[in-house]
């Protein structure tokens, strides 16, 4: 950071949360000059909600960000204090790494990475407004009147756009508990005329560690052999700790019901829509009255901090009521609240106003990422930040846009869902959203995406060398499994690849029983090699089927929708589809398939009409480049 603000840069990033960090990092890796505007050093990489990274489907996003050269996986491996691989009892398509973070160490790690990065300048100031003229962004204006010129601006404001915090009847403008809301910037965004509305999220009370009787709780240890989230990690840096679980009781439920009229969620004080899949305690008890208890997780916020996070106990009741509800839990009869839980309302922009690059359709050079697009979760924000940052950097260099398809990455699914379907409530990623889950596993994220990142310029030499070694091992090991015979329970000897299709045979056991296999495994972290080989062999039939489905669909993905193409004049489409397609302007026929209400017949109709138009004047061609196509 310098003493003076820069006057002009290639890219301005507003905000330094998870989306802003990845956006700035990605753009700078491409060689763009980046100014990151944030309130203070303390706001970089903050974890205002649960201090954890990963989880179901979210772990997939982190692995993909990492494979593309992003920071989140490295950061959590350097600062994580408990690691667990979720869904081990199920198939590898839904295995999900998750790690509890020391939130202070995590934020400090991210700050150091940004401070030391070439091309990134940290600007500790609040952005008051966007500078937009003639449908094009020209930079930002700070609250002191200083202007930073930039033809690309990435807005990653989280919950700060006109943020309003609620604790019982008390409410005040804020983006996080003790940080000011971005009121003037919210007005600037609204002045663009983009569709949007208000959403709501919340956090639970924090409890002092010393006031908890942990002997009354159920310990939840981490994995004996932790699975890191970055492909570069060879060893975890921090000591590992236990978390604990506890269940609510009828006493807790009774207290909530007795005070429900004081909840801003239930007395009309809050109008924003909250997350369906992470409901508040009030919602859990009022919407599910037959459920006798709800499981909670007590998670330390760091190795040397007093705060303990009660995961699953989000609420916005008055502070004194929250204290009684916390003390009604086993082991917390003497609990001291460090900070009450709160709800926060904030503005968001309906993401159907964006292209698949996350650039605003109506404002050239303006990109949005994170909760401003209607999502919830650090991982969803970081993934969007990387996409927006890469495309802002590419745009600054006049290079083609970068997008990922639904068959290529969970990041592609996330962006496609947002841009084509929009949000009626905070969006959360699930593995069920992926049509081709076996192709998009956590173990093969590097095999899928690291070459793409290298081609772009976001994957550095160290990561590339690590990947090339891994890729070569994987190919040689696959050949060994095809050509080496092993004995199966029937007594026959068959190729090892075939043997692994037997549900009772695991590759780890085969390696121990058949030394002649001679597989090459990473001596430090062999689990990724083993997981990839096991899944590729065990599910080879299903994988080939999904690959054929992707190949059939690829002709739609490659077929561009001309910017002049009129959906409204196309007979055979319902009026509802005509309106939605006209509003959202998919860049390809494949993207049109994700529009709500789209049918295979309607998609085929659009494809045929575009082909006929192209044949008539010779101007419309299929595009197989990595760019976003027409309209991107």
* Cβ pair 200, 343 in contact under 8 A: yes
**Under 8 Å CB-to-CB from 358, ≥6 apart: which residues?**
367, 368, 369, 373, 384, 387, 388, 391, 415, 419
pLDDT tens digits for 288-326? 999 999 999 999 999 999 999 999 999 999 999 999 999
Give 11-200+346-455's CATH code, choosing from 1.10.260.40, 3.40.630.10, 3.10.350.10, 3.50.50.60: 3.50.50.60
Structure pTM?
0.91
Query: Is the pLDDT score of 418 beyond 60?
Result: yes
Give 460-543's CATH code, choosing from 3.40.390.30, 3.30.1490.100, 1.10.10.1800, 1.10.3720.10: 1.10.10.1800
Q: How confident is the model at residue 308, as a pLDDT?
A: 97
pLDDT tens digits for 75-87? 999 999 999 999 9
pLDDT band, very low/low/confident/very high, at 617 (cuts 50, 70, 90): low
Q: Tell me the mean pLDDT in the region 172-201.
A: 95
* Cβ pair 12, 35 in contact under 8 A: yes
Triad 38, 40, 43: Cα angle to 5°: 75
| DSSP classification of residue 268 | S
Query: Is the pLDDT score of 595 beyond 90?
Result: no
pLDDT tens digits for 229-259? 999 999 999 999 999 999 999 999 999 999 9
Radius of gyration of the chain (CA): 25
Query: Is the pLDDT score of 281 beyond 80?
Result: yes
The token pair that represents 323 in the structure block: 């204290």
Closest CA to 545 of 453, 407, 417: 407
Q: Tell me the mean pLDDT in the region 593-622.
A: 74
State the Cα torsion 309-312-318-320 to the nearest 10°: -60
pLDDT tens digits for 443-497? 999 999 999 999 999 999 999 999 999 999 999 999 999 999 998 888 899 999 9
* DSSP codes, 134-157: TTEEEEEEETTS-EEE-SEEEE--
Q: Where are the domains of the chain?
A: 11-200+346-455, 460-543, 559-617
Q: How confident is the model at residue 615, as a pLDDT?
A: 59
**Under 8 Å CB-to-CB from 562, ≥6 apart: which residues?**
610, 613, 619, 620, 630
- Determine the distance from the C-alpha atom of residue 480 to the mean position of all C-alpha atoms in its chain, rounded to a whole number: 36
pLDDT band, very low/low/confident/very high, at 529 (cuts 50, 70, 90): very high
Give 559-617's CATH code, choosing from 1.10.150.570, 2.40.30.10, 3.40.50.920, 1.10.287.70: 1.10.150.570
* Cβ pair 386, 36 in contact under 8 A: no
Beta strands in 283-410 (DSSP E): 295-300, 307-311, 337-339, 342-349, 366-368
pLDDT band, very low/low/confident/very high, at 515 (cuts 50, 70, 90): confident
pLDDT tens digits for 133-161? 999 999 999 999 999 999 999 999 999 99
* DSSP codes, 380-398: HHHHHHHHHHHHHHHHHTT
Is residue 185 classed as helix, strand or coil in its secondary structure?
A: helix
pLDDT band, very low/low/confident/very high, at 549 (cuts 50, 70, 90): confident
Nearest-angstrom CA–CA distance, 135 and 455? 31
Q: How buried is residue 504: exposed, middle or buried, by Cβ count under 10 Å (0-12/13-18/19+)?
A: exposed
Triad 423, 51, 77: Cα angle to 5°: 105
pLDDT band, very low/low/confident/very high, at 12 (cuts 50, 70, 90): very high
Triad 70, 71, 72: Cα angle to 5°: 110
Q: How confident is the model at residue 278, as a pLDDT?
A: 82
* Low-confidence winner among 35-39, 186-190, 316-320, 421-425 (lowest mean pLDDT): 421-425
* Cβ pair 39, 126 in contact under 8 A: yes
Query: Is the pLDDT score of 563 beyond 90?
Result: no
Query: Is the pLDDT score of 2 beyond 50?
Result: no
């Amino acid at each position: 950071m310098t003493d003076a603000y820069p006057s002009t840069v290639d890219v301005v990033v507003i905000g330094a949360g998870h989306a802003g960090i990845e956006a700035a990092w990605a753009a700078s890796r491409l060689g763009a000059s980046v100014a990151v505007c944030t309130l203070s050093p303390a706001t970089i990489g903050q974890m205002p909600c649960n201090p954890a990274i990963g989880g179901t489907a979210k772990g997939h996003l982190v692995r993909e960000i990492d494979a593309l050269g992003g920071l989140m996986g490295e950061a959590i491996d350097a600062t994580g204090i408990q690691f667990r691989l979720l869904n081990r009892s199920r198939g590898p398509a839904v295995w999900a790494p998750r790690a509890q973070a020391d939130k202070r160490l995590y934020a400090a790690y991210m700050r150091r990475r940004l401070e030391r990065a070439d091309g990134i300048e940290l600007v500790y100031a609040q952005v008051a407004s966007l500078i937009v003229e003639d449908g094009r962004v020209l930079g930002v204006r700070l609250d002191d009147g200083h202007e930073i010129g930039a033809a690309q601006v990435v807005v990653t404001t989280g919950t700060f756009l006109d943020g309003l915090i609620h604790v019982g009847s008390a409410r005040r403008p804020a983006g996080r508990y003790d940080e000011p809301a971005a009121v003037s910037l919210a007005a600037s965004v609204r002045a663009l005329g983009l569709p949007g509305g208000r959403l709501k999220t919340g956090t639970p009370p924090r409890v002092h560690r010393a006031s908890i009787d942990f002997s009354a709780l159920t310990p939840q240890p981490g994995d004996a052999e932790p699975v890191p989230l970055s492909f570069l990690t060879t060893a975890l840096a921090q000591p590992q700790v236990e978390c604990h679980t506890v269940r609510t009781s009828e006493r807790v439920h009774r207290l909530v019901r007795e005070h429900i009229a004081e909840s801003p969620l239930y007395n009309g004080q809050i109008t924003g829509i909250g997350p369906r899949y992470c409901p508040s305690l009030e919602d859990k008890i009022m919407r599910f009255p037959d459920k006798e208890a709800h499981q909670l997780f007590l998670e330390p916020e760091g190795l040397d901090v007093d705060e303990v996070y009660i995961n699953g106990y989000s609420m916005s009741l008055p502070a004194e009521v929250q204290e009684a509800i916390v003390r009604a839990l086993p082991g917390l009869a003497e609990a001291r609240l460090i900070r009450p839980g709160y709800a926060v309302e904030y503005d968001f922009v309906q993401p159907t106003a964006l292209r698949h690059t996350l650039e605003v359709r109506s404002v050239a050079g303006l990109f949005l990422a994170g909760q401003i697009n209607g999502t919830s979760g650090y991982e969803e924000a970081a993934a969007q930040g990387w996409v927006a940052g890469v495309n802002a950097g590419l745009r600054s260099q006049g290079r083609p846009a970068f997008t990922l398809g639904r068959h290529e990455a969970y990041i592609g699914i996330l962006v496609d869902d947002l841009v084509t379907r929009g949000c009626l409530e905070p969006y959360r990623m699930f593995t069920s959203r992926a049509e081709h889950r076996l192709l998009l596993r956590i173990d093969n994220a590097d095999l899928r995406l690291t070459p793409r990142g290298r081609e772009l310029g976001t994957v550095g030499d160290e990561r590339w060398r690590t990947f090339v070694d891994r890729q070569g091992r994987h190919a040689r090991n696959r050949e060994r499994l095809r050509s080496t015979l092993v004995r199966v329970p029937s007594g026959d000897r068959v190729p090892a690849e075939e043997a692994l299709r037997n549900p009772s045979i695991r590759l780890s056991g085969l390696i121990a029983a058949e030394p002649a296999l001679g597989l090459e495994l990473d001596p430090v972290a062999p689990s990724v090699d083993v997981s990839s080989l096991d899944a590729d062999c065990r599910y080879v039939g299903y994988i080939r089927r999904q690959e054929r489905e992707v190949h059939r669909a690829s002709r739609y993905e490659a077929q561009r929708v001309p910017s002049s193409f009129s959906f409204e004049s196309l007979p055979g489409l319902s009026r509802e589809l005509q309106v939605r397609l006209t509003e959202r302007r998919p860049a390809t026929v494949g993207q049109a398939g994700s529009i709500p209400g789209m049918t295979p017949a309607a998609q085929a109709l659009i494809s045929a009409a575009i082909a006929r138009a192209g044949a008539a004047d010779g101007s419309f061609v299929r595009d197989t480049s990595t760019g976003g196509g027409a309209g991107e």
